[in-house]
Amino acid sequence: MKAKAKHTADQIASGAWNRPYTREAAAFPAKSLLDYKFWPPVARVDNAFGDRNPVCSCVGMENCS
């Protein structure tokens, strides 16, 4: 079974694991990740809605000096 969303290091290292796939499959869904793994700080932003509708909180260019 394939792991679904990205998993943070905290999720992988937590004591509870109630998913239908192994921790190893969640942490390393591709063998190439064994050498070069990126640990995202969060799994998802506001679930799928936040992933599809990012909001920029940057000041506009007119505010730069």
CA-CA distances (angstroms) from residue 13 to 5, 6, 23, 64? 16, 14, 9, 42
Rounded CA separation 23/62 (Å):
47
Q: What is the pTM of this model?
A: 0.51
Domain with 35, as residue range(s), is: 9-63
* Total domain count, the chain: 1
Q: Does a structural domain hold residue 4?
A: no
Q: Does a structural domain hold residue 3?
A: no
Taking only the tens place, the pLDDT of each residue in 25-60 is: 888 888 887 888 777 777 666 666 766 777 777 776
Q: Does a structural domain hold residue 1?
A: no
Dihedrals phi, psi of 9, to nearest 5 degrees: -60, -40
Provide the sign of the torsion angle of the four alpha carbons 37, 39, 44, 45, taken in this order: negative
